[in-house]
Amino acid sequence: MLSFFKDYKLFAIVFVVISIIIIGIIYNTLNVYQPLPVYQPSMVSTELVDSTLQYKKKYHKIADFSLINQNGKTITQKDYENKIYVADFFFTTCPTICPIMTKNMTLIQKEILNDDEVMLLSHSVTPEIDTVAQLKKYAIKKGVNDKKWNLVTGDKKQIYALARKSYLAVKDNGDGGPFDIIHTENFMLIDKKRQIRGFYDGTNTEEIKRLLDDITILKEEYNQ
């Protein structure tokens, strides 16, 4: 009888050890790191992409740029070098989705305020209205932190080219004009290689949470 219990005890120990190993394998399998996709023009709705790029399947990056921020400083891709950043397109006199987008961008700013890896970049689609003075007034009103978030204006042609050829973020209004677009609620997550890693509805708080989660995932990518 004593021998039986000794054998049972040995079996129980082996069973527990094997169970722990199996559970560990299952846990690790279910929690395998999944990198964010790298978006190419061919993966995005054609209405948001310039016709010259709609079938491009690889090597897409944000183009070089030179724009002016709310402090009158020239901002280029160098200011975002080795940074993760969130970009959008807006205008200060927009009465509909822009105030919501700006409010949600402010929430993101709060979360990344002490994170040196992450920045924000908002492009005006009405640069003829959004002068440096206008952007500064708007920035102060909305609580923009100059060290984290640039509101930029500049050459309309360059901004619109960035919108449709780089960020794949706005719609053509369909009238055939080269500089008339309908800006969307899209926020774009850009990685340190200037690649698009996510699109989010900037008016939706659940999407903002997803964006913040994706920033964490993207940072993990650089720590692998």
Overall residue count recorded for the chain in this entry? 224
94 marked ligand binding residue: yes
Burial class (CB in 10 A: 0-12, 13-18, 19+), 167: buried
Contacts 24+ apart (CB under 8 A), 45-52: 47/171, 47/172, 48/164, 48/168, 48/169, 48/170, 48/171, 48/184, 48/186, 49/164, 49/168, 50/161, 50/164, 50/165, 52/165
123 marked ligand binding residue: no
11 marked ligand binding residue: no
Q: Do 183 and 163 meet the contact criterion of CB atoms below 8 Å apart?
A: yes
Q: Do 119 and 147 meet the contact criterion of CB atoms below 8 Å apart?
A: no
- How many other CB atoms are found less than 10 A from the CB of residue 209? 13
What is d(CA 85, CA 16) in angstroms, rounded to the nearest whole number? Answer: 47
What is d(CA 159, CA 67) in angstroms, rounded to the nearest whole number? Answer: 8
Q: Which residues are annotated as a binding site for Cu cation?
A: 94, 98, 183
Q: Which residues are annotated as a binding site?
A: 94, 98, 183
